């Protein structure tokens, strides 16, 4: 058995959750915040059999899209002068961790 921990953008989380439950996977959703852009994320916790891990990752990958976003940055021109300068970064997609489960009980 495996525990899948998937961090997904809030923009994609509803679609990911819908598809996972439609495919009869039970998921727990946690509201989380990313450290770089301080943007809202959803972290999914999901236990499944070893042979279904690729199916879960496929669903998450299909419904978690990367997109470009402009974020403010500051550029220093010396003498303490800073000018805001927008920078394009890639956001979205998913970060997925797959871990072995030594024991599982549903009480």
The structural domains of the chain, with segments of one domain joined by +, span 2-100
User: DSSP letter at 38?
Assistant: -
Query: In terms of CATH architecture, what is 2-100?
Result: 2-Layer Sandwich (3.30)
What is the C-alpha separation between 102 and 13, in angstroms, rounded?
A: 28
pTM for the structure as a whole: 0.76
Terminal Cα distance for the chain, rounded: 17
pLDDT at 31: 92
Q: What is the pLDDT along the chain (107 residues), one digit of tens a residue?
A: 999 999 998 889 999 999 999 999 999 999 988 766 566 789 999 999 999 999 999 999 999 987 776 666 655 555 555 556 676 666 668 999 999 999 988 89
């Amino acid at each position: 058995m495996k525990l899948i921990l998937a961090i997904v953008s809030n923009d994609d989380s509803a679609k990911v959750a819908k598809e996972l439950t439609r495919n009869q996977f039970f998921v727990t959703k946690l509201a989380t915040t990313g450290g770089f852009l301080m943007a809202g994320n959803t972290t999914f916790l999901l236990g499944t059999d070893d042979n279904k891990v690729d199916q879960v990752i496929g669903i998450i990958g299909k419904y978690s899209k990367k997109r470009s976003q402009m974020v403010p940055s500051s550029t220093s021109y010396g003498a303490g002068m800073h000018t805001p300068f927008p920078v394009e970064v890639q956001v979205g997609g998913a970060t997925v961790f797959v871990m072995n489960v030594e024991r599982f009980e549903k009480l």
